[in-house]
Structures are given as structure tokens and as C-alpha cells.
Structure 1
Amino acid sequence: MTVFWKAINDQFCLKIEQDFDALHPRRENDNLGTMICWHRRYHLGDEHRFAEPREFMESLADGFEIKRIEERSDKDLFEQVARHAIILPIYAYEHGAITIRTAPFSCPWDSGQVGWIYISKKKAREEFGKLTQSRVSYIENLLKAEVQEYDDYLQGNVFGFTLYSVEAELREYLSEAGTDVYDLSFDEWSPFLKKMDSCWGFIGNNHHTNGISECLPEEARSLLSDLREGCIIEDRKLQYA
């Protein structure tokens, strides 16, 4: 089943669909943070060579020139690393699909920590200057936003749009048929539409903020507030409008 969203007015028709060929945000984007994860079924986060979390922490500690690495407990080692990096935990929840975030989930059986996202404080200073508390909070929010973006990708919240111009004959057709435009399916609209533009790869299910709005003509942006769900089953005719 393929679900899409549609809206139409006298000038424009907007169709929004899920992007099944979206670029991987951890491989294709220039990310601020490094995301290191482990999972028995999924390859999450950035590519890495660490067999388990302790090995990763020891590698970071070595790079930060922390002493007596092997003698330290996992907790102590993390605390030492956190002095040299802005680092946030990543938790995953699985129940059919998988979702991730930087805060624990309430379910102890289907969730748990799977890794971290971090940036060294040295790199952060190079990017942002002196690390005041407000600046550290700002950087933490940027790292959280990267996790949210990746979560949207994992859940399939990536979309594309096609914008059409609407021919005047549609109004005549509606008048003669004595029906409302939304009583018709998208297939019934199609003879009166002319493709103007399309673009793909918008991450996030809020179409007002995921970038789609900025790509539309100002006169067409109001359509985002009037989207109706449509559904195609097995690539046959529209089942509901």
C-alpha cells in the first residue's frame, strides 16, 4: 500500500509522497557529531571498527591522552572522556520498527542504550569558539537534532513533493458535475493537471518545517495546511481520497 497526501486550489495541486530512495543522512550529510552504535540486527550510525563499547571508550581516552585507561571502570572512563568531549547517549526502542533518541524509553524490555553521539571539545572550540555553558547547550541541541533526523530516516519520515498547475477546465468540470473537488480522486484530477516542479529528500513529517514549504511558490504554501490522505493499493486505482 502506498500512501500519499494531496491538496488543491484554483491555481495549484500539491502531492506529497514518501521518498523510498532517500539518501542516508549519516553517510551523505556533513554531520557535526560522530554517531557510534552497536545493534545485533541493525547497522546504526556511522561506520566504525569497534567491537564493543569499552573498546570505543578506550580509543577516545587514548586520543585524549587519559592515563591508566585499563585500570579504570567503565563509569570512571566515561567520566574522564566526558571532560574532553560533548557526548550524549543514544537509546533505541524496538517494537516491530525501531526508533532512537537521546533520552531513555519507559519500556525496559524493548529498549536500551545502543551507543553515543559526540564531538570532541577541541573540534567544538574550532567550530564555535569558547565553550560557554550556553554554547555547550546549543551544541548538545545540534547533536540531538542529528539523532532526530536519523530517527526520521529510520522510520521512513522522508518525503518528496510534486507541484502541478490546475487548468481552468477543472472548475468547469466540477460545475457541470455538481460536485466538490475533494469528492474526486487524484486520478480524476489528473487530466486537468500540468506538472510544474518536484523535489525529494525532505526529512521529518512536519511539512511546514522540513524544507518543503521553502521550495513552494508563496501562493502554493497554504496547500500544506489542507493536505488530505490518499491511498494506492498494489499500484491500481485510488482507493480513497
Structure 2
Amino acid sequence: MIKRYTIEIVPDQDPENPRDGETNAAQIYIPEWSKYRHFADKGALENLLVEVVPSAQFQALSDEEKELVEEGTSALFRVAGEARAALALPLYLMDHGGIALSTGDFVDSWDSGQVGWVFVTSKRMKEVLVKEEFNKEGRKAASEAIRQEIATFNAYLCGDVWGWVLKSHIYSMESQEWILYDDCEESVWGYYDKEQAEKEAEEAMKSAMSREKQESVFKLKEAEEEYEMALKKAGIPGKVTKETVESLCWFHSTAERARKECEVLFNMAYGGKNDHTEA
């Protein structure tokens, strides 16, 4: 049985929320009064304040004082940046037939605007990005992490998450056509970049074809050896009976048919004349 393959790029119907993991370097802050606050990371503001204000002092603040801190977040992020305690970028949201997030302005005053901030604290920079401080290299790494994480989250919100499915087909000598053998021989999901899904799907296809071709070369060689054995047996001297002749003729025709079928299938699946030296 010789296979050939097709691959399909399909939407991921049940993707994981990329904000649920613990490997994110950036944190999303959206004020509590915003109707979009559910897109924020829990405890984001507190995590930032700990970097700027000693934890004990923050815990000692009254609820009213904490509200004032929240109202002055723009100044807080500026102070955090100057103190090299965090790097922050504005977070913009578009609400028009769906939600979209970006670190760049959508330039649409009707349906979009700044909704919060995205930031990387010095602590997360050391833990996730393995950078010691907000020097030129550290700031660049933090900025790239923020933009990439928001792009990934935006893909999730927009349903722009993909997977690929590898399907195998076998050739029917009876119907003279390729028929589906396995509608999901292999699959991978959770690509937040369609181009990346297409690239890795192509690599998976090449790998599957290479494995199958190697196996097919072996099958073809085995069929040819059986054919040669049939020819040798057909020429064995000695007493020849009617049953022996019939048996040898059957064996010869069966081996010949198997060899031809293997060769036909191999050429149909991979094209060109087979060369045992290549897989």
C-alpha cells in the first residue's frame, strides 16, 4: 500500500487564550471603570506599583488613595520609565463589529482609542526576557515582547488562529483512483500566525512524503525480488507435473502483478522512474 498526502490549513476552533499562560513578559493594564477591563491582566497595576513603591507602603494606602493612584496611571508609567522600573506602551482598542487590540493607534476617533497600557516590569524582564536592566538592548527586547504578545492576543480575539491537518490517500487498482485513507493522519493546532502554519505544514508534508517514499522503495524492491524468485523457480529442473506448472505459473503471474502494481503506484505517487539509491 503506497500513500500520497494532502494537507489542509484550517481555523483552530478551540484555541488557547495566550494570556492564560505564565510565560508572558508583558502585562496589560486597563482601568477598573472601563467596560473593557476584562481584557486586562489581574493585578497588573499592583505588580507595577511594587516595582516603583515599596510593597509595604502600597498595602498601607487607603482605597481612596489607591483610586487616585489609578487615576494618575499616565504619570505613574512615566515615573516607572524614568526610574527604569518598567517600560510601557499605550494600548489601543478598536470596537467595530469585533474587538481588535494594538500598540499602534487605529486612527479612528469614532470606534477606537487608547484603552490602557501594556508594560514589562524589571522583574519580568529578568525572569522572562533574561535581560538585567532597561539599557538599549533591554528596552528593545521589552518593546518587541510587548508588540508580539499584543499581536498574538489580537489574533486570538479576532479568531485568526490556525492549524493544519495531514490527510493520506491510497490508490485503488479496482476503481483506478486515489481514495481517502486517513482524514487526520497528523495535525497541529494553535498557530497565531497563518503564514507560520503554512510553512510548518509544508515541512510536515515533505517529511511524510520522504518517509513514505523510503518505505515505498523498500516495497518495490521486495516485489522485484519476489518476481526474480518466481523466474528462478520456474526454471528448476526435475520432474514437472501439471500441478507444479500451474503453481509456478500462478506464482509467476502473482509476483509479476505485484511488482507492476508497486511500480505503477510508486510512479503515480512520486512521479518519474524509481531509483533505489534515493529515498
Partner of 2:90: 89
In structure 2, relative to structure 1, the CA distance for the partners of 1:12 and 1:110 (3 Å cut) is same
Structure 1 residues 3-82: aligned runs within 5 Å: 11-28=4-21, 30-38=23-31, 39-40=34-35, 43-48=38-43, 56=45, 60-61=48-49, 63-65=51-53, 75-82=74-81
C-alpha separation in 2, matches of 1:45 and 1:218: 41
How far does residue 76 in structure 1 lie from its aligned partner after superposition?
3.4
Residue 153 of structure 1: which of 146, 153, 156 is its match? Answer: 156
C-alpha separation in 2, matches of 1:112 and 1:210: 35
C-alpha separation in 1, matches of 2:81 and 2:35: 26
The reply on whether 1:192 has 2:180 as its aligned counterpart is yes
How far does residue 169 in structure 1 lie from its aligned partner after superposition?
3.4
Residue 138 of structure 1: which of 118, 137, 141 is its match? Answer: 141
Q: Structure 1: state its 5+ residue gaps.
A: 1-9, 51-55, 175-190, 222-241
Of 97-106 and 125-134, more deviation after overlay is shown by 125-134
C-alpha separation in 2, matches of 1:152 and 1:211: 18
How far does residue 123 in structure 1 lie from its aligned partner after superposition?
3.7
Partner of 1:172: 176
**Tell me, what secondary structure is at the counterpart of 2:25?**
coil
Count, aligned residues = 187
% identical aligned pairs: 23
C-alpha separation in 1, matches of 2:120 and 2:198: 26
CA contact (8 A) 1:202 1:212 kept: no
Partner of 2:263: none
C-alpha separation in 1, matches of 2:37 and 2:76: 27
C-alpha separation in 2, matches of 1:158 and 1:140: 23
In structure 2, relative to structure 1, the CA distance for the partners of 1:142 and 1:220 (3 Å cut) is farther
C-alpha separation in 1, matches of 2:181 and 2:40: 41
CA contact (8 A) 1:204 1:210 kept: no
**Tell me, what secondary structure is at the counterpart of 2:40?**
coil
How far does residue 60 in structure 1 lie from its aligned partner after superposition?
3.3
Q: Structure 2: state its 5+ residue gaps.
A: 58-64, 210-279
Higher relative contact order (CA 8 A, sep 6+): 1
Q: Kindly indicate which of the two structures has a greater share of residues assigned to helix.
A: 2
Q: Kindly indicate which of the two structures has a greater share of residues assigned to strand.
A: 1
C-alpha separation in 1, matches of 2:13 and 2:52: 41
C-alpha separation in 1, matches of 2:105 and 2:4: 47
C-alpha separation in 2, matches of 1:46 and 1:220: 41
Alpha-carbon displacement from aligned partner over 1:177-206 (angstroms, at most 9, x marks no partner): xxxxxxxxxxxxxx4242321222222222
Residue 128 of structure 1: which of 128, 131, 134 is its match? Answer: 131
**Tell me, what secondary structure is at the counterpart of 1:163?**
strand
Partner of 1:180: none
Partner of 2:193: 204
**Tell me, what secondary structure is at the counterpart of 2:15?**
coil
Of 20-29 and 201-210, more deviation after overlay is shown by 201-210
C-alpha separation in 1, matches of 2:51 and 2:135: 23
C-alpha separation in 2, matches of 1:213 and 1:30: 28
In structure 2, relative to structure 1, the CA distance for the partners of 1:85 and 1:46 (3 Å cut) is same
TM-score, normalised to structure 1, is 0.64
C-alpha separation in 1, matches of 2:39 and 2:72: 26
Structure of greater Rg? 2
